[in-house]
Amino acid sequence: MKVLLTGANGYIGKRLLYLLVDRDLEVICCVRDASRFNHALSDHERVSIIEVDFLKEETLERIPEDVDAAYYLMHAMSMSGGDFARKEEQMAQNFTKISEKRNLQHVIYLGGIANDKELSPHLKSRLNTENELKKGNYNFTSIRAGIIVGSGSGSFEIIRDLVEKLPVMIAPKWLKTKSQPIAVKNILEVLSQSLFDEFTYNETFDIAGPDTMSYKDMLMKFAEARGLKRWIISVPVLTPRLSSYWLYFVTSTSYNLATNLVDSMKTEVIARDNRLIEHLKIELISYTDAVKRAFSRIKQNQLISSWKDAMSSETITKHFEDLVEVPDFGCFKDHKQAKITNEEHVLNNIWSIGGERGWYYGNWMWKIRGYMDKVAGGVGLRRGRTHPSEINSGDSLDFWRVIVADKSKKRLLLFAEMKLPGDAWLEFKIDKNQVLHQTATFRPKGLWGRLYWFAVLPFHGFVFKGMIRGITRETNVQLKTVIQ
């Protein structure tokens, strides 16, 4: 049996792939950019990868004609610069259209619980996507889930940021809204076990965890699981806009995502029943146990996927292959190089850059730059990194995106996702003569881009010089600077 896994680079898709392979299914992973697919099973004999953008109809012909089933795990909520609801509707329509030319027997869609009378724009769009997918000529299963709790999930990371950073929280009144959070393990069990189960054909199911609680309860239970004492004061004066800014500045979420989350948090997310859970005989995990399981994975560096894997809209518009070759024409460059004697040590330092480790020099300046980026509506530094010493193409790394991470070729290339009047790359490469090359490249956009470069040029002199010294520390180095 062949199964199409859309959103294979996403938070759920990356994890679901393991379960589908365990069922001896042949899985076609559907991604926008194959160079970003760095899954541990990417070379598995039953796993193949195709590049498809469901907003571009011409790419849909790459979907095999003999595919038997599909998981629809796509959304556009984190995209900016456009109407995400319109994009989600178009993607669903294009999926339904191409399915008419395929042999699909079963399609499973993961959406959100939408039983409240007044739905947020996000939940309305999820419901609209479901209605569009129902029009297809296949057996359709809609699974509406509550808030997902698991290592790397958006809700988990936001709650974590709030609890661990704020001993006292002045919070908006939507913290009293009720919901039923569900462990990611239970989500994955439902998705994998529902495939080709006739009980699920042409049905809509709510799935939720065993605990009904307010968002305030979730924060306090999280704090209790972490052994932290926290105080929360709810006030009615925080408007949705102020609430969005509150989430945006305190947590690692983007402002666009924070706005959609705040809108959704005003809606109760309560399941009508759990009949699918009962049918599949799945043992539900409590909220507290789900939090503890998540931290167990984090401590063991077993984070398979994270919501932070999603690229910023600015990077989405560019193809990875277009970013691999750093341009020269019309660019400003800061190139520093150092003769090294301990290649392994230097490579390990490069592969550990950012996140908790920092940038080897002037971390306080990097933090200020991250704060400035947040004020300007960018991602800031709070995304950190998924693993302390491993990097893969497509990973987020503070306010950078990893474009190339090839240890065998001794090259790491980062692309800036911060707000800039132009495009920026940061590259580390060791040549055959044991010389480390560190190159910052900036391609300005218009006059403002050029003014920006010259404004920050004085800081580059010691920030980048200090960085290469930090990376090569404990080795004998000879520094040389070339600024163009």
Amino acid 300: pLDDT: 44
Are the C-beta atoms of 267 and 177 separated by less than 8 Å?
yes
CA distances from 355 to 204, 383, 426 (A): 41, 8, 16
Cα torsion angle, 36, 40, 43, 45, sign? negative
Q: Scanning the structure block, which residue is given the tokens 């090569």?
A: 472
Here the tokens at position 353 are 């850059």
CA dist 194 and 17 (Å) reads 14
Q: What is the dihedral of CA 342, 344, 346, 348, to 10 degrees?
A: -160
Residue 451 pLDDT more than 50? yes
Q: Which amino acid is at 67?
A: V
Q: Which pLDDT belongs to residue 131?
A: 92
User: What is the residue-averaged pLDDT of the chain?
Assistant: 82
Distance CA 125, CA 104 (A): 24
* Model confidence pLDDT, tens digit, residues 183-207: 999 999 999 999 999 999 999 999 9
Q: What's residue 306's pLDDT?
A: 46
Q: Are 338 and 436 in contact (CB under 8 A)?
A: yes
Per-residue pLDDT, averaged over 448-472, amounts to 87
**pLDDT at residue number 317:** 45
The crossing angle, in degrees rounded to 10, of helices 255-265 and 240-250 is 130
pLDDT value at 482 more than 70:
no
CB 178 within 8 A of CB 212: yes
Other C-beta atoms lying within 10 Å of the C-beta of residue 230: 17
The fold of the 311-483 domain, in CATH, is: Alpha-D-Glucose-1,6-Bisphosphate; Chain A, domain 4 (3.30.530)
CB 148 within 8 A of CB 75: no
Write the DSSP symbol of residue 307.
Answer: G
Compute CA distances 235 → 168, 172, 174, 244, 338, whole Å.
Answer: 13, 5, 9, 15, 55
CATH architecture of 2-305: 3-Layer(aba) Sandwich (3.40)
Q: What is the pLDDT of residue 351?
A: 93
Q: Which of the pair, 151 or 483, is modelled with greater confidence?
A: 151
Pairwise pLDDT comparison (438 vs 383), residue with the higher score: 438
In this model, does residue 385 exceed pLDDT 60? yes
Structure tokens at 268: 């109760």
Strands annotated E in 24-68? 26-31, 47-51
**Cα(353)–Cα(389) distance, rounded to whole angstroms?**
8
Q: In this predicted structure, what is the pLDDT of residue 192?
A: 95
Say yes or no to pLDDT of 220 above 70: yes
- DSSP bridge partners of 476: none
130-163 pLDDT, tens digit per residue, is 999 999 999 999 999 988 888 767 777 778 777 8
**Are the C-beta atoms of 361 and 479 separated by less than 8 Å?**
no
Domains in the chain: boundaries: 2-305, 311-483
- Please report which helix (H) or strand (E) contains residue 122, including its range: helix 121-133
Could you tell me the maximum CA-CA distance found in the chain, to the nearest angstrom?
69
pLDDT in tens, 320-355: 455 667 877 778 889 999 999 899 999 999 999 988
Whether the per-residue pLDDT at 389 is higher than 50: the answer is: yes
Q: Which pLDDT tens digit goes with each residue over 395-414?
A: 888 888 888 888 888 999 99
Three-class SS of 135-189: CCCCEEEEEEECCEECCCCHHHHHHHHHHHHCCEEEEEHHHHCEECCEEHHHHHH
Q: How far is CA 430 from the centre of its chain?
A: 30
269-323 pLDDT tens trace: 889 888 999 999 999 999 999 888 877 665 444 444 544 455 444 444 454 455 6
Mean per-residue pLDDT for 65-91? 79
- pLDDT value at 266 more than 80: no
